[in-house]
Structure 1
């Protein structure tokens, strides 16, 4: 498992609940969110900037060694 710092730009929604769901959905595309924060809002462009820490499961190549 590895952790990654990511940023995402989210369209502002009609309600805070919809915004929360839109953020969670977008972050799930990158991994499992551990924590996130809205770091800025551009009201003119109707966008929110989100910074997050997500975890990803690492795939290991577990092939048996040949003698």
Structure 2
């Protein structure tokens, strides 16, 4: 098992629940998320930056 630190840009959603689902879907593309956090938002671009630690099988 290998851990990776990733950064992803996610479009803001209508509700917090939809945003959480969009983040989880994006992170699953890179592995199994251990933890993640929204670290910044850009209201003009309607996006947010997420930093996460994910694991993948070696």
Q: TM-score range by the shorter chain?
A: over 0.9
Q: Distance in 1 between matches of 2:23 and 2:44?
A: 19
For residues 6-49 of structure 1, what are the alpha-carbon distances to aligned partners after superposition, in whole Å with 9 as ceiling and x for unaligned? 00000000000000000000000000000000000000000000
Aligned pairs, number:
58
Q: Which runs of 5+ in 1 are unaligned?
A: 59-67
Q: Which runs of 5+ in 2 are unaligned?
A: none
Q: Do residues 8 (structure 1) and 8 (structure 2) align?
A: yes
Q: Do residues 42 (structure 1) and 42 (structure 2) align?
A: yes
Q: Give the TM-score normalised by structure 1.
A: 0.86
Q: In angstroms, what is the RMSD of aligned CA positions?
A: 0.2
Q: Give the TM-score normalised by structure 2.
A: 0.99
Identify which of structures 1 and 2 has the higher relative contact order when contacts are C-alpha pairs closer than 8 Å and 6+ apart: 2
Structure 1 stretches of at least 4 aligned residues deviating more than 3 Å after TM superposition: none
Bigger Rg, which one:
1
Q: Distance in 2 between matches of 1:32 and 1:10?
A: 17
